[in-house]
Structure 1
């Protein structure tokens, strides 16, 4: 594999795995699966399933080893795609650019919140702005 394609596969794997930890994971899945639907449609359902599995692992507060395994698996998946379909390079580059742009300051962040109300208490939680109007 050409060095530039290997770098692209590695960058895509890291970018996709880190993007799957955000609130925008469904859009990420849609875009990743879309690349396969255009270039390797027979594998699109498998990639969609792999994306959902990765999200499940990432939601479970994975250790560094689990996250590294996910990145390695996605890197291999992207390498195989690029080897089989060199035309996928443009789509994969666009995907990386789009996801990287979304990881800036305005990107959705993963927020885990837990609350428990007791003794007639009320809990308000929000990942951003909240307006509460009570009489």
Structure 2
């Protein structure tokens, strides 16, 4: 199998398993199941059920601080996606499209547009600026 497809499978597995513990898990589940439904319809329901079970596993592992369990699930899905792509390398296009759909826009990739911020403070002022999440602790 070509190195590009292996890298794609790895990236997809990391993204999908990572999303299982977030609000984006349903979109990931539906997207992966749709891939299977188009390629191997007889396996689609099983794949969807396995993603639901994987979500439970990821949530439990994160609560327990068990990084190994999440890494094992990622490796399992990587292997599954590698086999999926090996059967028909043309499926890579669909998997890339799903990844683009699941991945948030990245300013570094130039997809989010330009963000420009200016702040002016004086005396004892504090200025906090963020283009994303910000958590401030302290006085």
Same fold? TM cut 0.5? yes
- 2:45 is paired with a residue whose SS is helix
Q: Which residue is equivalent to 2:100?
A: 97
Give the paired residue count: 104
Q: 1:78 to 1:103 in 2, by over 3 A?
A: farther
Query: Which consecutive unaligned segments of at least 5 residues does structure 2 have?
Result: 108-139
Query: Which consecutive unaligned segments of at least 5 residues does structure 1 have?
Result: 105-135
Deviation at 1:97, TM superposition (A): 1.3
Deviation at 1:81, TM superposition (A): 0.3
Which runs of structure 2 are paired with 1:1-135 in the superposition (5 Å)? Answer: 1-62=1-62, 63-101=66-104
- In the TM superposition, structure 1's runs of 4+ consecutive aligned residues that sit over 4 Å from their partners are none
- 2:54 is paired with a residue whose SS is helix
| Mean Cα deviation higher: 55-64 or 10-19 | 55-64
**TM-score normalised per structure 2:** 0.70
**TM-score normalised per structure 1:** 0.71
Cα displacement string for residues 102-135 of structure 1 (whole angstroms, at most 9, x for unaligned residues): 689xxxxxxxxxxxxxxxxxxxxxxxxxxxxxxx
Deviation at 1:43, TM superposition (A): 1.6
Structure 2 distance, partners of 1:71, 1:26, is 17
